């Protein structure tokens, strides 16, 4: 286990780089917590995130092992040459994920997130295998979907209909189209 210094606003902030796999990091999460390192470094799109170790160790993020996550060991390498961990989603999705973890920790609802943001959050929570966060998102999505018409659901989730008016009328005649009036 090694550390590097990252210059953030002219202050040196300790950053902890993970082991060969997230499983290995999970096995050593007590050591991570006791190491004095306060942040784990992630890269999402072109943006770097220094994420508080406490957020990640209190969730189940560190149990997720993924073959394409490019996790690096710092043993035997100069730390300045190490690349951040790459995750397969963009910065907004990762920001929503961290927000979701924070809301879960504080036992708050996710009312401030749009339905599309909730879907993105669900994808990232699934990637990191965070079942508690996934349950919270599913619960909120169910609230948004309950007693809504198909049109309301399409509007809320920005789902566009690509059927022509003629196709729609034919489907209505055949009983395959659900309209608002039913």
Give pLDDT tens digits for 129-159: 778 888 888 888 888 888 888 778 878 777 7
Which pLDDT does position 17 carry in this prediction? 54
**Higher-scoring residue by pLDDT: 83, 108:** 108
Share of the chain above pLDDT 70, in %: 49
pLDDT band at 73 (very low <50, low <70, confident <90, very high): very low
Which pLDDT does position 41 carry in this prediction? 64
Which pLDDT does position 76 carry in this prediction? 42
Backbone angles phi, psi at 27, to 5 degrees: -60, -25
How many Å apart are CA 58 and CA 8, to the nearest integer? 25
Say if residues 20 and 73 touch (Cβ distance below 8 Å): yes
Which pLDDT does position 62 carry in this prediction? 46
Say if residues 19 and 73 touch (Cβ distance below 8 Å): yes
Which pLDDT does position 66 carry in this prediction? 32
- Is the per-residue pLDDT at 19 higher than 60? no
Domain range summary for the chain, segments of one domain joined by +: 1-88, 89-164
Tokens of 103: 């809301």
Mean pLDDT of 15-34: 60
SS3 143: helix
Which pLDDT does position 74 carry in this prediction? 37
């Amino acid at each position: 286990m090694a550390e590097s210094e990252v210059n953030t606003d002219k202050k040196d902030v300790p950053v902890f780089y993970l082991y060969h796999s997230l499983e290995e990091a999970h096995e050593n999460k007590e050591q991570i917590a006791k190491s004095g390192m306060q942040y784990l470094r992630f890269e999402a799109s072109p943006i770097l995130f220094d994420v508080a170790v406490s957020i990640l160790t209190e969730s189940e993020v560190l149990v997720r092992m993924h073959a394409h996550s490019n996790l690096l060991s710092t043993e035997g390498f100069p730390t300045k040459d190490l690349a951040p961990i790459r995750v397969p989603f963009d910065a907004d999705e990762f920001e929503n994920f961290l927000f979701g973890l924070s809301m879960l920790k504080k036992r708050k609802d996710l009312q401030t997130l749009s339905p599309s943001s909730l879907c993105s959050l669900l994808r990232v929570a699934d990637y990191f295998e965070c079942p508690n966060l996934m349950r919270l998102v599913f619960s909120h999505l169910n609230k948004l979907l309950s007693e809504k018409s198909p049109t309301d659901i399409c509007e809320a989730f920005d789902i566009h209909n690509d059927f022509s008016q003629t196709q729609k009328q034919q489907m209505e005649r055949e009983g395959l189209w659900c309209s608002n009036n039913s």
